[in-house]
């Protein structure tokens, strides 16, 4: 309970060398407390996993790997709720996608109910547990609070025989829900409220998805979890800070149940991110209220959503490593996650041309009906990605913002009289534009200089601006979805009534984008850099060969800097 908090500057050093969990494990191995390392990830199958869970998964898996140990995936399904196969399946898929290999060690805590029952019987026989008839309300009253010690239950001193008979009766369905509970007999005067004779078993006449109606008593988390860990020979049971005060009870359970080499619990701070929603409860509400398009809506930070958006396992691992582990709760800037995906994709992905807000550019002196194929490097920073051929012709699409009739200072793109480079093609000089009756620009005109072809070695003169383009006749049309953070944290994460302060602009759908033809054959999860527009990924749900849909993973620019 009285864990000493490390000064932030000490913690910062530790994350670059050995973090406090590694130091504890090093010590345990050196002192012979354990001769191996075994970790686990224990999700409750009641929702999809999110970026916080990814941290826990990669931390546990990473430690097992580092120490040549093993990593288990265990569903913590001791609560008799309806099976959500959807959640179990999504969790398994997400853990695998992250690369955390649990091999054949996929477990369900509900398979341990028999052993948990035996542990409870053992405690009763040792005089360490008793059946209590107080109501939930009375138990709460008797428990006392931070300032006042608890009061002992009048049922506390029942004999072992009576307790055994009553507990068996509980198991055999003789009692109604809430009529009796089994409590650990520890210390009603303990300064730690968790140690004041906590309830460890309750009566609940409910079907369980795995065990059906076999049981009508179910173990409480604080009793079940340490036993699950011990059964699986977990050495280091890593969990989040809210369980710190429960550690003495964890230790009590594994000690009194007499497990050999009992596991130990180590806590770290939960990962929170700014401007997004972590926490299953909030995510679930957004899904149920139809505010987002399911658990994998790209604005969420569930693992399924990050994958759909175009994040890679590598980028998530980089992020988790950068964040490190800490004993102090804090929020990490969302921009750091974006930094990681940019870093990961930068050299791996082709830089393509896609025009999101198109206006025609007509090259008046380029031969009508002619198309030439120009070789364009896929990634100017990574020549290994080679070149591709891109068609070029008299009529192109360019971004509307790349032309201005009356440009401000330092505008180096198209305006009457100015010359720019069309990326990978020619220099063009703007000659004017066409407008409709309402004054909207419908086409921009220019002339090109054939001498200036890219790769021709032309050095006659320089231009300041380079713009991207696609050939109108060959272009493919597609939809692009642009995202902003779902929560507007500038004004606080929550509104006064406790609801999330949602950003109304979190999704912008851009319907008629024009892209170079190579993108026409892109498939689900393929990702690219679109020059100047950011990194995009083909949507795995809504994109079809006839109607391509791209999600913007992240824009190109970042305010986030990292000191390497």
Q: Minimum Å distance from CB 303 to ligand ATP?
A: 12
Q: Which of 203, 271, 320, 353 binds ligand ATP (CB under 6 A)?
A: 271
Residue 244 CB, nearest approach to Mg ion (Å): 16
We find the least distance from the C-beta atom of residue 43 to ligand ATP, in angstroms, to be: 4
Q: How far is the CB of 44 from Mg ion (least distance, A)?
A: 5
Q: How far is the CB of 71 from ligand ATP (least distance, A)?
A: 13
Distance (Å, whole) CA 557 – CA 535? 11
Residues in contact with Mg ion, counted by CB under 5 A, come to a total of: 1
Cβ(445)–Cβ(376) under 8 Å?
A: no
> Exposed, middle or buried, 255 (CB in 10 Å: 0-12/13-18/19+)?
exposed
Length of the chain: 564
244 vs 343, which CB is nearer to Mg ion? 244
Measuring CA to CA, which residue among 355, 327, 448, 341 is closest to residue 393?
Answer: 448
Smaller CB distance to ligand ATP: residue 75 or 528? 75
Rounded to a whole number of angstroms, the minimum distance from the CB of residue 284 to Mg ion is: 12
From Mg ion, ligand ATP, none, interface partner of 162 (C-beta below 5 to 8 A by class)? none
Touching ligand ATP, residues 379-438 (CB under 6 A): none
Give how many residues touch ligand ATP by CB under 6 A. 15
Residue window 40-59: x/- pattern of binding to Mg ion, with contact defined by CB under 5 A: ----x---------------
Distance of CA 515 to the CA centre of its chain: 30
Q: Find the residue with minimal CB distance to Mg ion.
A: 44
Please report how close the Cβ of residue 245 comes to ligand ATP at its closest, in angstroms.
14
Q: Using alpha carbons only, what angle is made at residue 502 by residues 497 and 505, rounded to the nearest 5 degrees?
A: 155
Nearest approach in angstroms of CB 52 to ligand ATP is: 2
Closest to ligand ATP by CB, 100 or 353: 100
Q: Which of 554, 45, 68 is nearest to 311 (CA)?
A: 554
- Choose one: 41-49, 61-69, 285-293, 295-303; the region binding ligand ATP (CB under 6 A): 41-49
Picked from Mg ion, ligand ATP, none, the partner binding residue 271 (CB below 5 to 8 A depending on kind) is ligand ATP
Residues in a beta bridge with 528? 536
Contact flag: residue 43 with ligand ATP (CB under 6 A) = yes
CB-CB neighbours of 250 under 10 Å = 22
Nearer to ligand ATP, 69 or 407 (CB): 69
- As a whole number of angstroms, the distance between CA 167 and CA 159 comes to 12
**Choice from 100, 120, 181, 239 touching ligand ATP (CB under 6 A):** 239
| Beta strands 271-273 and 330-332, pairing class | parallel
Binding to ligand ATP by CB under 6 A, coded x per residue (else -) over 45-74, reads -------xx-xx------------------
Cα 179 to Cα 174: distance, rounded to the nearest angstrom: 10
Question: E strands within 154-233?
Answer: 181-184, 199-203, 217-219
CB nearer to ligand ATP: give 43 or 263: 43
Of 42 and 358, CB closest to ligand ATP? 42
Which residue stretch of 36-44, 182-190, 537-545, 550-558 sits at the interface with Mg ion (rule: CB under 5 A)?
Answer: 36-44
Q: Which does 278 bind (CB under 5 to 8 A by kind): ligand ATP, Mg ion, none?
A: ligand ATP
- Window 161-200: residues binding Mg ion (CB under 5 A): none
Binding flag, residue 279, ligand ATP (CB under 6 A) = yes
Which residue in the set 143, 183, 280, 552 belongs to the binding site for ligand ATP (CB under 6 A)? 280
Q: How far is CA 405 from CA 136, 139, 354, 362, 448, in A?
A: 75, 77, 23, 16, 19
Shortest distance (Å) from residue 234 CB to ligand ATP: 12
CB of 45 to ligand ATP, least distance (A): 8
Nearer to ligand ATP by C-beta: 229 or 399?
229
Q: Are 223 and 252 in contact (CB under 8 A)?
A: no
User: What sign has the CA pseudo-torsion 85, 87, 93, 96?
Assistant: negative
Task: Tell me the three state secondary structure of residue 419.
Answer: strand
Q: Coil, helix or strand for 410?
A: coil
- Minimum distance between the CB of residue 106 and Mg ion, rounded to whole angstroms? 19
Residue with Cβ nearer Mg ion (44 or 372): 44
340 close to 316: Cβ distance less than 8 angstroms? yes
Report, in Å, the least distance between residue 57 CB and ligand ATP: 8
Report the alpha-carbon distance of residue 143 to residue 300 in Å, rounded. 40
| Minimum CB distance to Mg ion smaller for 75 or for 403 | 75
Following DSSP, what letter does each residue of 431-487 receive, concatenated? EEEEE-TTS-EEEEEEEEEGGG-TTTT--S---S-EE--EETTTPEEEEEEEE--SB
* Choice from 111, 192, 211, 240 touching ligand ATP (CB under 6 A): 240
Binding of residue 98 to ligand ATP (CB under 6 A): no
In Å, how far are 302, 431, 439 from 406, measured between CA atoms? 46, 13, 14
Q: Which three-class secondary structure state does DSSP give residue 113?
A: helix
Query: Measured from the CB atom, is 280 or 445 closer to ligand ATP?
Result: 280
**Closer Cβ to ligand ATP, 218 or 366, answer by number:** 218
C-alpha 392/C-alpha 396 separation (Å) is 8
The sign one gets for the Cα dihedral 228, 89, 315, 273 is negative
Binding site for ligand ATP (CB under 6 A): 42-44, 52-53, 55-56, 239-240, 270-271, 278-281
Binding site for Mg ion (CB under 5 A): 44
């Amino acid at each position: 309970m009285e864990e000493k908090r490390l000064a932030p500057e000490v913690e910062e050093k530790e994350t670059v060398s050995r973090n406090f969990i590694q130091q504890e494990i090093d010590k345990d191995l050196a002192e012979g407390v354990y001769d191996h390392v075994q970790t686990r990830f224990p999700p409750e199958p009641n929702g999809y996993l999110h970026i916080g869970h990814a941290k826990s998964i990669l931390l546990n898996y990473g430690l097992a790997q580092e120490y040549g140990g093993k990593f288990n995936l265990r569903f913590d399904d001791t609560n008799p709720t309806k099976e959500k196969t959807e959640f179990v399946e999504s969790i398994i898929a997400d853990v695998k996608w992250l690369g955390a290999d649990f091999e054949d060690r996929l477990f369900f805590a509900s398979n341990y109910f028999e052993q948990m029952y035996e542990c409870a019987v053992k405690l009763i026989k040792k005089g360490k547990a008793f059946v209590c008839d107080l109501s939930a309300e009375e138990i709460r009253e008797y428990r006392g609070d931070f300032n006042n010690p608890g009061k002992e239950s009048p049922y506390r001193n029942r004999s072992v025989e009576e307790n055994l008979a009553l507990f068996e009766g509980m198991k055999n369905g003789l009692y109604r829900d809430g009529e009796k509970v089994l409590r650990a007999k520890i210390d009603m005067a303990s300064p730690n409220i968790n140690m004041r004779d906590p309830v460890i078993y309750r009566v609940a006449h409910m079907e369980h998805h795995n065990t059906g109606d076999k049981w009508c008593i179910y173990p409480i988390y604080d009793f079940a979890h340490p036993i699950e860990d011990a059964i699986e020979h977990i050495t280091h049971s890593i969990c989040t800070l809210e369980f710190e005060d429960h550690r003495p009870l964890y230790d009590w359970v594994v000690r009194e149940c007499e497990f050999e080499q009992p596991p130990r619990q180590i806590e770290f701070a939960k990962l929170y991110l700014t401007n997004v929603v972590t926490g299953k409860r909030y995510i679930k509400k957004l899904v149920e209220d139809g505010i987002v398009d399911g658990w994998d809506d790209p604005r969420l930070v569930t693992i399924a959503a990050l994958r759909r958006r175009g994040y890679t396992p590598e980028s998530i691992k980089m992020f988790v490593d950068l964040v490190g582990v800490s004993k102090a709760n804090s929020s990490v800037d969302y921009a750091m996650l974006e930094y990681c995906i940019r870093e990961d994709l930068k050299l791996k992905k082709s830089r393509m041309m896609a025009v999101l807000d198109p206006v025609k550019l007509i090259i008046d002196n380029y031969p009508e009906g002619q198309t030439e194929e120009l070789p364009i490097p896929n990634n100017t920073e990574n020549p290994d990605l080679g070149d591709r051929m891109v068609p070029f012709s008299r009529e192109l699409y360019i971004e509307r913002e790349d032309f201005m009739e009356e440009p401000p200072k330092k505008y180096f793109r198209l305006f009457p009289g100015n010359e720019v480079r069309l990326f990978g093609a020619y220099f063009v000089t703007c000659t004017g534009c066409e407008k409709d009756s309402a004054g909207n620009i419908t086409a921009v005109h220019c002339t090109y200089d054939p001498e200036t072809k890219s790769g021709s070695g032309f050095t006659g003169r320089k231009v300041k601006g380079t713009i991207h383009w696609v050939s109108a006749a060959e272009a493919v049309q597609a939809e692009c979805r642009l995202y902003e953070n779902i929560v507007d944290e500038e004004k606080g994460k929550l509104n006064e009534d406790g609801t999330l302060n949602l950003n109304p602009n979190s999704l912008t759908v851009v319907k008629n984008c024009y892209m170079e033809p190579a993108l026409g054959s892109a498939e689900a999860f393929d990702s690219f850099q679109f020059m100047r527009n950011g990194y995009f990924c083909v949507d795995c749900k809504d994109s079809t060969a006839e109607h391509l849909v791209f999600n913007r993973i992240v824009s190109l620019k970042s305010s986030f800097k990292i000191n390497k």
